[in-house]
Amino acid sequence: MASSNFVDQIKIYCRSGKGGAGSAHFRREKFVPKGGPDGGDGGRGGHIIIRGNVQMWTLLHLRYTKHLHAGHGESGGKQQSTGASGEDIYIDVPLGTLARHAETNELLAEITEDGQTAILIKGGRGGQGNVHFKSPTNQAPRYAQPGEPEQEAYIIMELKILADVGLVGFPNAGKSTLLSVVSAAKPEIGDYPFTTLTPNLGIVSYYNHQSFIMADIPGIIEGASEGKGLGLRFLRHIERNSLLLFMIPGDSNDISKDYKVLLNELQSYNPDLIDKTRLLAITKSDLIDQELREGIKPNLPEIPYIFISSITGEGIKDLKDMLWKNLNASID
């Protein structure tokens, strides 16, 4: 997923269709010159509908979509025929997309399953034909109901990536390198801050054709929850991860302190993130010897941890086992 092609927030104008007018027609046949009312109902206006598509990973396709207009309902006809409904507009989005009303911030829909649909803006109802207004005191109503008008709104689409494992760490913690080793994903890797400017997803293969999804979230820095660095832009992607894998380099001056900074940023952004299962991977372990590792262990955070090296492959298999075990424990 090229960085320029990743779009996780978009604002579009949507307008539903207006309902068709009911008909005020009267039955007129050769031997029934003064038949009663037989005007049909108008068709409803088209809806604006959001739909989940598992094949999509970004909102890029909506970047240049300025306006979406659903079709108008057609008017009712004679012989109580109902007008055709207006054409619905479907907006396909990746799983994990939220739709909000731009002015009120009301949550209109949350898409988490393939094929899931939700109506964002309803089309206007069609008006009733004059046949509905016939009564003992009014045998020949010469009026019908107009259709309801269309509705319009600006809608904000916001993508929160759905993944089983979210990689949390400072820039240059080795998150992108790990993802490239355990999956077929090819994120940009470099020895400078913020190499990763967009979330990357990878499918990690496991035994018996099983797999899980891992997300490389752009590096967090102290103050990210206040908007520093890449700030709030990517912290929201962590909300949808089932498990959080904290990644801290083995050559860090204080692994426990770094962990607390990362944890504090997550808690400041959303306290619910603390309830997620947390594991620790001490990366770049090829740079530290066994004696140094033993000295590090007593001061590590009280969560399951593992020493790994994406360069030498050390601990990678055990890490996958650990992740799989915890993912299935959380499901159970």
Summarize pLDDT for 238-277 with one digit per residue, the tens. 787 889 999 999 888 899 999 998 888 888 888 888 889 9
- Of 196, 173, 193, 171, nearest to 281 by C-alpha is 173
Q: Where are the domains of the chain?
A: 1-159, 163-331
Sheet containing strand 67-69, edge to edge, reads 67-69, 9-15, 152-159, 97-101, 107-111
Q: Is the pLDDT of residue 295 over 90?
A: no
297-332 pLDDT tens trace: 888 999 999 999 988 999 999 999 999 999 987 544
pLDDT value for 67: 93
88-119 pLDDT tens trace: 999 999 998 999 999 999 999 999 999 999 99
pLDDT value for 323: 94
Q: Which residue has the higher pLDDT, 269 or 126?
A: 126
Intrachain domains 1-159 and 163-331 with the same fold: no
Q: Is the pLDDT of residue 224 over 50?
A: no
316-331 helix and 175-182 helix, angle to the nearest 10 degrees: 90
139-178 pLDDT tens trace: 889 999 999 999 999 999 998 877 889 888 888 778 888 8
Cα distance between residue 218 and residue 48, in whole Å = 33
Cα distance between residue 47 and residue 55, in whole Å = 23
Q: Which residue has the higher pLDDT, 69 or 36?
A: 69
Distances (CA, A) of 167 to 27, 29, 213, 216, 292: 71, 75, 11, 5, 25
Cα distance between residue 187 and residue 51, in whole Å = 28
CB 71 within 8 A of CB 87: yes
Mean pLDDT over each residue of the chain, to the nearest integer? 85
Does domain 1-159 sit in CATH 2.60.98.20? no
Number of H helices, E strands in the chain: 5, 14
pLDDT value for 198: 64
pLDDT value for 237: 73
Distances (CA, A) of 7 to 56, 58, 96: 11, 5, 13
- What are residue 111's DSSP bridge partners? 97
Residue 31: partners with Cβ closer than 8 Å, 6 or more residues away: none
- Homologous superfamily, domain 163-331: P-loop containing nucleotide triphosphate hydrolases (3.40.50.300)
Query: In this structure, what token pair is assigned to residue 47?
Result: 């809806």
Q: Is the pLDDT of residue 28 over 70?
A: yes
CA 270 to chain centre: 17
pLDDT category of residue 13 using cuts at 50, 70 and 90: very high
47-87 pLDDT tens trace: 999 999 988 888 888 988 889 999 999 999 998 999 999 99
pLDDT value for 189: 45
- Of 145, 137, 87, 97, nearest to 117 by C-alpha is 97
Percent of the chain with pLDDT over 90: 46
Q: Is the pLDDT of residue 232 over 70?
A: no
Q: Which residue has the higher pLDDT, 124 or 173?
A: 124
pLDDT value for 190: 45
Query: In this structure, what token pair is assigned to residue 134?
Result: 């016939």
Q: Is the pLDDT of residue 27 over 80?
A: yes
Q: Is the pLDDT of residue 228 over 50?
A: no
